[in-house]
Amino acid sequence: MVDALTLDDFETHARRILPASLYAFVTAGSGNGRSKDKNHYDFLMIDLFTRVLRDVSDRSCEVEFLDCRFAAPIGIAPMGMAGAMRFEGDLALARAAHSSKIPFILSGAAFEPLEEVAAQAPGSWFQAYLSGNPAVDAAMVERIKQAGYKTLVITVDTPVPPSREASMRAGGLGVPVRPTARLVADTFTHPRWAADTLARTLIRKGIPRLANMGPTGGPRISAPPAKRPRSARETLTWDHILKLRNQWQGKLIVKGILAPQDAIEARKTGVDALIVSNHGGRQLDGTISPIAALPAVRAAIGDLPLIMDGGIRRGDDIVKALATGADMVLIGRPFLYALAAYGQPGVTRAIDLIIAELLRAMALMGCNHVSDLTPTCLAPSSSIWGPT
């Protein structure tokens, strides 16, 4: 693991270990992958000023966010199928985040029950999708409360399934999982993953279940999808968020905001924070990147806490996001790759690397505190927002 010097290095190792179909499921964006690529590319269009001869010996990237103290303004994004990367992968991610004192968001599409994650990593956040059924949603909220969660994240950018051509071309892995000759061959040509993850999971826990997709759990990943004339998510409106706000007394965050108009609507419902995100480029291809959307969203909502999700790969990316208006960032795929390659120690190593890069970047910019990262750090030559 010592040869993993940056977050990108973990992907190289994970790609060798994971079956091609599983790797493609994780790495692929929707459509032609333009949004996924643009998420990081747009960071390269932003230039920073350095500041010199400033005492930076007292640097700290600790932050206060939503009444909690964190070691850095970095969180692990909610990601389904983490348990397919590594045995009990959701628990490994949660424990690594907890020990590093950064937030972890458990996905509603996780294999591990939310109660077990809360027990092993107190302070974790939970991410859910609204079902559109008031009784089901109320029961799910009660389950989350009883488990001890204080922060609930609602993802709102998935009214319909996306187009995943790249994943289909690599074997078509998805949920429900359908074994094919290609998937079987793919598995047995990756014996380390087959033994360490697949076999351990099947022997100790059976076929994985989407444990948190409803108040009493969800289906096994091999179960056929329920037949419905229309997805209930297509009927969701801001009224559903308003109703949820009345039911949930903890911190409430809405994830999947890109348009300033939606940010304004979200603020009206009384949410505690927003996550600017295009779902890692996994929904509508061709969307604006989160970093490019950030300034207008910040201008629209004033001082409402704001998290940016998508494209973060280096410490200077975090600097750019914070200087552009974010209070915190989420990182997704790189932590999955670290998990696949090295398990929980790999995730901890990835967290340590990105925090070290952030502190180094702060020093070179003459900053001692995260609050020093303001728009004045951004060079006018930055081309992401066009001519100034």
78, 155 contact by CB (below 8 A): yes
DSSP letters, 302-316, are: TTS-EEEES---SHH
Catalytic, out of 13, 190, 240, 279: 279
Q: What are phi and psi of 187, to 5 degrees?
A: -65, -50
Q: Could you tell me whether strands 125-128 and 151-155 are parallel, antiparallel, or unpaired per DSSP bridges?
A: parallel
- Closest of 331, 383, 380 to residue 357, by C-alpha: 331
Alpha carbons 336 and 313: distance in angstroms, whole number = 13
Q: Which residue type occupies 342?
A: Y
Q: Reply yes or no on whether 369 is catalytic.
A: no
Which three-class secondary structure state does DSSP give residue 85?
helix
d(CA 377, CA 50): 8
- Does the bond joining 176 to the residue before it have cis omega, within 30 degrees of 0? yes
Q: From the CB of residue 369, how many other CB atoms can be counted at a distance below 10 Å?
A: 13
Going by C-alpha positions, the residue among 313, 375, 326 that lies closest to residue 39 is 313
Residue type for 348, please?
T
d(CA 227, CA 4): 45
Residues belonging to the active site:
279
